[in-house]
Amino acid sequence: MESRRIKDYLVYYIPQRVIIFPINEYQEVIIDNIIKNFLEWGLLDNKIISCKEKYFKYFLEKEIDSILDSFRMMFSDLNVKILTVYKNIEVGDSYKHWFEDNTRFSKVLISTLKKKTKYFKEIKKDNLLFINTEGKFKGIKLGVPTGEETEFLQKTLAKSNTPNN
């Protein structure tokens, strides 16, 4: 199976100068890496992850910092904003047995991302998923936003630039 890179999950909207990062699609990579770290450190011997452990928070923050660092490296030459979007983050069935409380993982992931990213937004509408793409730029899918998506981007980025947000 071909391994996917972070670039494979992104969509770039040139007119809005924004890159969409759908965390839902990438969360399995994050979970895989956290579980791998727990196993390497021998922290799962007859245990499951409660998401309250200091190690869990450390490994999660390490994954998020790695993502953000890769964004900085990939897009340092472009003047773009990275908008992380999510919709109903849930731990997939193949990972549920690793966690004591599957909803806690989602809550900790969301709260950690909110602390570390400037542009972070929940998508509530089913049809607003940023999936219309056409071509690539620097290996990133180019988005063709619908009118509704364009309006969403403008409002979200404007709100994020206001004081006290």
Q: Where are the domains of the chain?
A: 6-160
pLDDT at 137: 86
Of the listed ranges 75-79, 125-129, 144-148, 161-165, the least confidently predicted one is 161-165
The Cα–Cα gap between 21 and 9 comes to 7
The Cα–Cα gap between 58 and 76 comes to 26
pLDDT at 163: 45
Residue 161 has pLDDT above 60, yes or no: no
Mean pLDDT, to the nearest integer, of 90-96?
88
Residue with tokens 């727990």: 38
pLDDT at 45: 84
Mean pLDDT, to the nearest integer, of 125-148?
80
Q: Which residues contact 84 (CB under 8 A, 6 or more apart)?
A: 21, 22, 23, 113, 117, 119, 120, 121
Does residue 115 sit in helix, strand or coil? helix
- Residues 14-73: pLDDT tens digits? 888 899 998 888 888 999 999 999 999 999 888 899 999 999 999 999 999 999 898 888
Q: What is the mean pLDDT of the chain?
A: 85
